[in-house]
């Protein structure tokens, strides 16, 4: 997956464009490349929708934690989470709301499915 911090390099889009052309040329020429994408990247390339299960290949620890939240016997209220996530940008932490006003909305056992869906969506689509 592309690194969400790649924008520190001003020409980062041109690098993505270049590697896309190299991969396209290799596919066109029938060459095998010794590089692999996570499943969600392949699905994005062919226009398929991503789902929660795709998070497992992208970030296994996050997938395991969110999957734990979905289990009916687990009490997510003990985690004291809210509908926001934190990203580290080279030592500077930024809090991002997963829904409008998310940092003020606690995750409960009633809304944990929405939390998992929004956090998965953010990491699979928005953060890359």
Q: What does the pLDDT profile of the chain (128 residues) look like in tens digits?
A: 666 667 777 888 888 889 889 988 998 999 888 877 778 888 888 889 988 888 888 889 999 999 999 998 988 888 889 999 988 877 788 899 999 999 999 999 999 999 999 999 998 888 77
Question: What's the pLDDT at 104?
Answer: 92
Whether residue 68 is found in the same domain as residue 116: yes
Whether residue 3 is found in the same domain as residue 66: no
Largest Cα–Cα separation, the chain: 55
Whether residue 31 is found in the same domain as residue 57: no
Question: What's the pLDDT at 90?
Answer: 75
* Residue 20 included in any domain: yes
- Domain interval for residue 65: 50-126
Question: What's the pLDDT at 66?
Answer: 92
Q: Per 3-state DSSP, what percentage of the chain is helix, strand, and coil (rounded to 5)?
A: 55, 10, 35
Report yes or no: 85 and 121 within 8 Å, Cβ to Cβ.
no
Whether residue 77 is found in the same domain as residue 26: no
Q: What is the pTM of this model?
A: 0.74
Q: Where are the alpha helices (DSSP H) in the chain?
A: 12-29, 39-45, 55-58, 60-70, 112-121
Question: What's the pLDDT at 1?
Answer: 63
Number of domains into which the chain is organized? 2
């Amino acid at each position: 997956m592309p690194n969400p911090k790649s924008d520190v390099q001003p020409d980062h889009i041109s690098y993505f464009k270049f590697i896309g052309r190299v991969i396209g040329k290799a596919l066109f020429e029938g060459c095998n490349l010794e590089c692999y994408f996570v499943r969600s990247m392949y699905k994005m390339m062919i226009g398929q929708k991503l789902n929660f299960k795709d998070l497992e290949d992208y970030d296994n620890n996050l997938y395991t934690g969110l999957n734990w939240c979905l289990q009916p016997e687990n009490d997510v209220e003990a985690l004291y989470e809210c509908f926001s996530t934190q990203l580290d940008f080279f030592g500077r932490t930024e809090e991002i709301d997963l829904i409008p006003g998310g940092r003020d909305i606690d995750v409960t056992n009633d809304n944990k499915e929405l939390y998992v869906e929004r956090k998965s969506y953010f990491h699979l689509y928005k953060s890359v």
